[in-house]
Amino acid sequence: MSKRVALVTGASRGIGRAIAFSLCHAGLDVVFAARGVEQNEELAAEIGGCESCGGRSMRVNLDVTSPDSIKEAFTRVLKEKTRIDVLVNNAGITRDGLAVRTNAADWDGVLDLNLGESFRCIQQVLPGMMRNRWGRIINITSVVGQAGSAGQANYAASKAGMIGLTKSLAQELGSRGVTVNAVSPGYIDTDMTKGLPEELKAKILGQVPLGRMGQPEDIANAVKFLAGDEAGYITGQVLAVNGGMYM
């Protein structure tokens, strides 16, 4: 049997990059999808030097803010790889601010990119997964979508929406052999969190029973599990990887 094909959005850095390489090491043929990713020479060199990738993994430009870009990217991947067995919806943005000051652009932009793009990407893979009667859809949500966060109403709503989307699709697609799950990261050491003031970092860490930040690889390991055959009887679930920050 040929390698299963996985596509990871937002795969150029941080959690997405860790997920993509983790799936690659697990023996999947991985598509690294992100805006401008084809121009990322560092990523190209890393893929080329990875024995597990075997030269099969590809990079594809994907602007998740554009429905046309989504359709074009998935059409290209399906033409070259013939199928997509695993989809990881990881791309996302934040535009934080108190609700009283949040304008329509910041509200709509976060909801549409984080939640809308996930649904549009899912629509691209559903026909093939349903036809093959096998598939894994894994949505990267957030502890904020479960617990809420002051100043992040738009982001929390988008991530909570991904949980609802996950559970609804799990019910819809289970009879076709397609599982749909979510992974909910907590406080993870990424470029997004590196810029936080030290005082705020200390405050957040005080809420984590394990007393440390998570690493992108912690999220990648959870995704790798859900993408494999071992998780074949798990669907509609939210796997929290947060060090106990929210239980």
> What residues are annotated to the active site?
155
Q: What angle do CA 84, 43, 28 make, to 5 degrees?
A: 30
Give the other-Cβ count within 10 Å of 2's Cβ: 9
The rounded distance, in Å, linking the Cα atoms of 60 and 31 is 7
The rounded distance, in Å, linking the Cα atoms of 229 and 217 is 20
| 200-231 exposure pattern, b = at least 16 Cβ within 10 A, e = fewer | eeeeeeeebeeeebbebbbbbbbbbbbbbeeb
Give the other-Cβ count within 10 Å of 180's Cβ: 25
The rounded distance, in Å, linking the Cα atoms of 35 and 153 is 25
- What token pair was written down for 118? 């996930």
Asked whether the beta carbons of 79 and 73 are under 8 A apart, the reply is: no
